[in-house]
Each structure stands twice: as C-alpha cells, then as structure tokens.
Structure 1
Amino acid sequence: MHQGAKTPQTQEWEDSLRGKLEVKHQIRTDTINDLENFSQDLQHISLVVESIQNNYQALLTENSRLKSTLLELVDDCYCWKGNRCEKCQKILKSLAPETTRKKFNTAQEYEEILKQLRKLG
C-alpha cells in the first residue's frame, strides 16, 4: 500500500480528530466570549452598586440634616424638657415612634451579629 493513500478507517479517525479539535476550539472561543460578557456584567453591577451606595449616603445625609433641623426647632422653642408644647411633642414623637424599643433591640441584635461575623473573618 502507498504511504499517501488513506484507508477509510484512517480517514474516519482523522475526520473525528479534526471534528473534536474544532468543537474544543469553539468551546474555548465561547468560553472567552462568556467570560468577557460576565466581566462586562460585573462592571455594570459594580456601577449600579456604587450608584446605590451614593444615593443611600445622600439619603442618610439628608435624613440626618432633617432630624437636626427638627431638634433645633425643639431646642429653640420656649418650652423645656418635661414640659414640651404640643408642636415639640409631635416633633419628638415623630423622631422616636412607639417602636423605638423594638428598633433599639433590633439594632443591638444587628451589632451582635456584626461582632460575631468579624470574629469569624
């Protein structure tokens, strides 16, 4: 038999090998594309999270400013601690609703959880 001639079995093996190599190449190309898309998604998510952080910080700052303004109104009023006028009582109640104790306990629980997490990390 001549060296240049291929048997059907050799041709099938070569065709199979080439097919497998092509599939592997396509999988690797698809993987690269998927990783690039994933990277872009992560960058977008990072920008969204940064925007949320900025908005939340602005909200907290505004909330703090408004609370300070309300407390200044109470401080500048003619009434005094223990004998607040109706307007100051309303202001103080709006700053400390009836659920204050529950919120305080929730805050304490949150702080405890954070302490435990910090010990783990």
Structure 2
Amino acid sequence: MRTNPTNRLSEIVLNAQLEIGDALSQDTLEHLEDLHEDLAYVSQSIEQAQARFAKVLAENRQMKAFLLQTVKECWCVEGNRCARCQNTLLTLSHFEV
C-alpha cells in the first residue's frame, strides 16, 4: 500500500497541533492554580489587615472616650478650660471623625 505524502504531512501537523493544544491547556490549568493560591494569600492578608485595623480603631475610640471623660471630670468648666484640658481638646480636634 502506498502512502500519500500529503496525507502523512497533514496527520503529522494535526498531531503536533493536538500536542501543542494539550500543552497549552495544561499550562493554563497550572497558571490558574497558581493564581488561585496567590488570591488566597492576598485574601488572607486582607483579612489580617482588617482585623488589625478594627483592633486599632476600637483602641482609638476607647482612648478618645477616656480623654473626653477626663475633661468632663476636671474641675474646670466648659468655655473656661484649664491648660491641660485645652491641650487634650486640641489634640482630640486633630483626629478625623
């Protein structure tokens, strides 16, 4: 039986294309797995940052409340605050709402 060189070449090209396509698919799958791992790490980092920020925010609120309470409990009166209370209120005024 004689083989047709054109058919043989077409078969070789087809096999090469299939191998390349399979290799690309495997590479794509590996890249997606790597991306998934990277995103999981980023997500974990964000969650940790959120937890730390929430803790700092709570501590800041507690500190502001404490400072305001010390001003309220001072012997001086509103509109005529002592130097310590004036400094405390000035410091508190620099904090964002």
Do these two structures clear the TM 0.5 threshold for a shared fold by scoring above it?
A: yes
Cα distance, 1:65 vs structure 2? 0.9
SS in 2 for 1:79: coil
CA RMSD across the alignment:
1.6
In structure 2, give the amino acid aligned to 1:6: T
1:58 has 2:55 as partner:
yes
Instruction: Give the gaps of 5 or more residues in structure 1.
Output: 105-121
- CA distance in structure 2 between the aligned counterparts of 1:77 and 1:91, rounded to whole angstroms: 12
Identity %: 32
Q: Residue in 1 aligned with 2:5?
A: 8
How many residues end up aligned between the 2 structures? 97
Query: For residue 6 of structure 2, what is the amino acid of its counterpart?
Result: Q
Q: Which runs of 5+ in 2 are unaligned?
A: none
The alignment partner of 1:36 has SS state of helix
Residue type of the partner of 1:49?
Answer: I
Q: Match for 1:78 among 62, 75, 80?
A: 75
The answer to which structure, 1 or 2, has the higher relative contact order (CA under 8 A, 6+ apart) is 2
Aligned equivalent of 1:87, options 67, 84, 87 = 84
The answer for the alignment partner of 1:35 in structure 2 is 32
